Structure 1
Amino acid sequence: MKKIIVTGNVGRDPESRYDASGAMFVTFSLAVNTGSKANQKTDWLEISCNGKTAELVQTYVRKGKKLLIEGTPAASAYINKEGNAVATLRVYANNVEFLSNERGDDTGMDNNYDSAPSEPAGFNAPGVQEKSPGFNAPGPSLKSDDIPF
């Protein structure tokens, strides 16, 4: 089993796309900083999600927001238009948690959304699966209609 949990800032606004069956999925970049302040390095990850999570990300996530992403990593390599070899790490998000409203805002938001593994068709995935969206918070179970936004 492969699993990755990362926190970082959204590098570009989410882009909606559709797979062969017409199901929507969303992709965006996430900047993840590692190392000390003096030797800080930024790794860029491509994040992909589908289903209800994709709808929420498309609506509420913008460049600069701080997120926690939990999902399945997949590495790939290709030759870009300029003829250079490029390696990428894509994370198929199972869980997206909104940590702040904007970069530098540490007040946090306790919004936590789950979706099924989001490996959309067209990315060598067998198909798109979706389970009921969840709202992970202590207390009674909430339905998506109960979420205030």
Structure 2
Amino acid sequence: MMGTINRVTIVGNLGSDPEVRTTNTGALVVSLSVATSDNWTDKQTGEKRQRPEWHRVVIFNQGLAKIARDYLRKGAQVYLEGQLQTRKWITEDGQDHYSTEITLQPYHGVLTLLGGGKSEDSSDQISDQHNDTGTQSDNADSSQTNGMSNGLADGTTDNGTSMAHDDQIPY
């Protein structure tokens, strides 16, 4: 049996401020509406055309949810990696409804702020390898190269266990 991959990558702009909810257990859930666009030139008129595509993004990853809540605003440009997930529900009148979303699950997903949020001057990347303060722990060189000082994580996961960096894996 072949393995499968469910991975979605988009770069787009927020159409509205993040929608923040808290579950009964106190976990944050942040929903985003992100627009990407399809650009082309009309062959008959030579006019540049654009068609927006709207994506619903739901962040369950607590570290990324906090970052989205605190730093993202309408118009912000973001780079997102997550999984495609379709939900089904039935309304009171018995109608089936479906919603397909990009989800950033706990310990999975990437959120990079490209601009337009609270701090438009910097580009901050927060991925599935971060601590709960939302700081980057992937690669110290990348934050120094772009002039950022993110206070890198100490190489532990949200639950305090140690995680191996790619250059420490023996294969």
Partner of 1:142: 152
Q: Check the 8 A contact 2:78/2:113 in 1, yes or no.
A: yes
TM-score, normalization by structure 2: 0.59
- CA RMSD in angstroms comes to 3.2
Q: Please, which moves more after superposition, 32-41 or 6-15?
A: 32-41
| Counterparts of residues 1-149 of structure 1 (less than 5 Å) | 1-36=5-40, 38-49=48-59, 50-76=61-87, 88-93=99-104, 94-101=109-116, 109-115=122-128, 132=131, 133=134, 135=136, 136-139=138-141, 142-143=152-153
- Alpha-carbon distance in structure 1 between the residues aligned to 2:98 and 2:53: 12
Partner of 2:165: none
- Alpha-carbon distance in structure 2 between the residues aligned to 1:31 and 1:86: 22
Q: 1:109 to 1:80 in 2, by over 3 A?
A: farther
TM-score, normalization by structure 1: 0.67
* Residue 25 of structure 1: how far off its partner (Å): 1.5
- Greater C-alpha radius of gyration: 2
Q: Which structure 2 segments of 5+ residues have no match?
A: 42-47, 145-150, 155-171
Amino acid at match of 1:11: G
SS in 2 for 1:67: strand
Identity %: 20
- Alpha-carbon distance in structure 1 between the residues aligned to 2:111 and 2:91: 29
Deviations, residues 39-77 of structure 1 (Å, cap 9, x unaligned): 422111111113111111101100001111100011346
Partner of 2:159: none
Q: Which structure 1 segments of 5+ residues have no match?
A: 117-130, 145-149
